[in-house]
Structure 1
Amino acid sequence: MAVSFFDQFMTPIYMGVPLITMATVMPRVAFFKPTPQWMTGRTTALQTQFINNATYQLFAPLSAKSHTWALLIISLMVFLLGINLLGLLPYTFTPTTQLSFNMAFAVPAWLATVIIGLRTQPTHAFAHLLPESTPSLLMPVLVVIETISLIIRPIALGVRLTANLTAGHLLIQLISTAVFTLFTTHTVLSLLTASLLVMLTTLEIAVAMIQAYVFVLLLSLYLQENT
């Protein structure tokens, strides 16, 4: 039976246990935990500095009411970052290549921001559906368009994360397959392709980090509209 390149995105099962469960737990083990000591290691200090800078960049433009979401959103960013980076290691599985997994985070987070907007400032929330100075004939059309754009937000969040990681993993597998295929017949061409693979892997590491940040950045923007 021919092996498909898309088989890598199927959820593997080992001894009856889906490995997506282990891949979801691994980020908790990979990151360092705070200690009561006055002096910490360099790695812990760098991790803390990274989290502090990310928190400032995300919540500096937001109102004080939205700062209560800081722990949840930063935890989500670190979780997605760990999953994306660990998924680049050999013989691992990346849960964020599954659309259902990403939608399980995108839909509840987006829905929570909408509910908060409807509870705290309902007039402002409904005002987004109809901009000011809209002609009477265009009012029904604009309401439908704005409603669709509002509903499509969580879908865009999940699809963006899934598509970027899936495309990168698929391209890495295609090029690595070409490297092994060309090694016996065209060694020089195989080495050149391998150098391209190294650069692509570096790019994929950057994409894994950027996509985790973009995911929570868009959530913070949705939160800003509703607080």
Structure 2
Amino acid sequence: MNKNLFASFICPNIMGLSTLPIIIMLPCLMFTAPKRWLPNRIQILQIWLIRLITKQMMSMHSKLGRTWSLMLISLILFIASTNLLGLLPYSFTPTTQLSMNLGMAIPLWMGTVILGLRKKPKASLAHFLPQGTPTPLIPMLIIIETISLFIQPIALAVRLTANITAGHLLMHLIGSATLALASINIMISSITFTILLLLTILELAVAIIQAYVFTLLVSLYLHDNS
């Protein structure tokens, strides 16, 4: 039994060594390389999902933006598989760590900003000052737009961390309540267990949706700068 609610978010160690690198590599085992002639059903489903996501996400991009398609598809598959693996018993979810999410968000955001400054510097700098702004408001608007630009990667990381952490905490609370009520009232315990099952189904959807939202926002930043 965990000592506190947040003990499940501490990365496990084996002989004093962090197991986080091994856990991060686990999603790679879920996606097998398709055979040349006869892929199985799981591989066909993976190919169909990848093509569907690529079509929906890359349709709004220019030729330059579509060069990021492999990176964005890899990102959404990694986040989704990591979130889903974290729902297994006695597992650890790396996306509950703000440091890891910032490590994904900041380089991707910085890459889109640098791309925009290189390819279309005038349009990128024009976002800091909308056309027709009164002269007295120019310094204030530039400061506000600069702050909003630098907040984007933080908002990306915090959104993913908060949603995944909140779901895991709620599941932990309801699971603890179910075990505590099992010896007191079977009827109430069965009700809380049903709620836990429904919440688990919801968390399966949240794990995939949050991966899609994270990647979609990166794609929108890329669209604005490419």
Deviation at 1:63, TM superposition (A): 1.1
Q: Percent identity?
A: 48
1:69-94 deviation per Cα after TM superposition (whole angstroms, max 9, x unaligned)? 00011001101111000000001100
Please give the alpha-carbon distance, in whole angstroms, between the structure 2 residues aligned to 1:212 and 1:104. Answer: 15
Matched residue type, 2:17:
V
Correspondence list, 1:1-227, <5 A: 3-37=3-37, 39-227=38-226
Please give the alpha-carbon distance, in whole angstroms, between the structure 2 residues aligned to 1:205 and 1:15. Answer: 32
Please give the alpha-carbon distance, in whole angstroms, between the structure 1 residues aligned to 2:56 and 2:18. Answer: 36
Q: TM-score, normalised by structure 1?
A: 0.97
Matched residue type, 1:92:
S
Q: TM-score, normalised by structure 2?
A: 0.98
Ranges in structure 2 where 5+ consecutive residues have no aligned partner: none
RMSD: 0.9
Matched residue type, 1:63:
S
Deviation at 1:224, TM superposition (A): 0.4
Please give the alpha-carbon distance, in whole angstroms, between the structure 2 residues aligned to 1:59 and 1:73. Answer: 9
1:7-66 deviation per Cα after TM superposition (whole angstroms, max 9, x unaligned)? 1111110223312112100000112222212x2111111111011101111110111110
Please give the alpha-carbon distance, in whole angstroms, between the structure 2 residues aligned to 1:156 and 1:191. Answer: 38
Please give the alpha-carbon distance, in whole angstroms, between the structure 2 residues aligned to 1:102 and 1:52. Answer: 25
8 Å Cα contact 1:179-1:191 kept in structure 2: yes
Please give the alpha-carbon distance, in whole angstroms, between the structure 2 residues aligned to 1:118 and 1:193. Answer: 54
Ranges in structure 1 where 5+ consecutive residues have no aligned partner: none
Please give the alpha-carbon distance, in whole angstroms, between the structure 1 residues aligned to 2:18 and 2:31. Answer: 23
How many residue pairs align between the two structures?
225
Question: Post-superposition, which runs of at least 4 consecutive aligned residues in structure 1 deviate over 6 A?
Answer: none
Matched residue type, 2:174:
I
Deviation at 1:149, TM superposition (A): 0.4
